[in-house]
């Protein structure tokens, strides 16, 4: 079974620019998560999708961050405009709908550096 795929793996941008990250979850996994992991901290949930609906986005800075999962499969996370404090690793994870208590499967992450 192929794992969670993310691209790009690395991105360097200047502040006030925009950036987009892509995630392809494991086939058949209905739930998709985006996390932000700042250096020295644990992953922090930004948004959780179930199929193409949003379950929780309470920690998503909506003035600059947006995410979509239009067909209930792939997802895109966008930052516009980026700030220095957005420098972090952005992780995507997925889990089956009926087996969320079995844990999540993570992608390799995208390391974003904002200069």
Partner 1 sequence: AQRVTQPEKLLSVFKGAPVELKCNYSYSGSPELFWYVQYSRQRLQLLLRHISRESIKGFTADLNKGETSFHLKKPFAQEEDSAMYYCALMPGSYIPTFGRGTSLIVHP
The residue ranges that bind partner 1 (CB under 8 A) are 3-4, 31, 33, 35, 40-45, 48, 55-56, 91, 93, 100-109
Query: Considering the complex, what minimum distance in angstroms separates the CB of residue 68 from partner 1?
Result: 19
Select 86 or 95, whichever has its Cβ closest to partner 1.
Answer: 95
- Residue 28 CB: number of other CB atoms within 10 A? 10
The radius of gyration of the chain from alpha carbons, rounded to an integer in Å, stands at 13
Minimum distance from residue 106 beta carbon to partner 1 (Å): 4
Question: Taking a C-beta distance cutoff of 8 angstroms, is the pair 104, 49 a contact?
Answer: no
Q: How far is the CB of 34 from partner 1 (least distance, A)?
A: 12
Which DSSP string corresponds to 81-102? Answer: S--GGG-EEEEEEEE-GGGGGG
Between 25 and 43, CB nearer to partner 1: 43
Coil, strand or helix at 42 = coil
Please report how close the Cβ of residue 98 comes to partner 1 at its closest, in angstroms: 12
Residue 27 or residue 58: which is nearer to partner 1 going by CB? Answer: 58
Q: Which two tokens stand for residue 65?
A: 């961050």
The tokens for 45 are: 């949930």
Q: Which residue lies nearer to partner 1 by CB, 14 or 56? A: 56
């Amino acid at each position: 079974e192929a794992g969670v795929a993310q691209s790009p793996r690395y991105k360097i941008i200047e502040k006030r620019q925009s950036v987009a990250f892509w995630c392809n979850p494991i086939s058949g996994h209905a739930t998709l998560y985006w996390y932000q992991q700042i250096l020295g901290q644990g992953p922090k949930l930004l948004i959780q999708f179930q199929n193409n609906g949003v379950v929780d986005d309470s920690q998503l800075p909506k003035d600059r961050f947006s995410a979509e999962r239009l067909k209930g499969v792939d997802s895109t996370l966008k930052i516009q405009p980026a700030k220095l404090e957005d420098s972090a690793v952005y992780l995507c994870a997925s889990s089956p709908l009926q087996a969320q208590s079995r844990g999540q499967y993570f992608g390799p992450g995208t390391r974003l550096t904002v200069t």
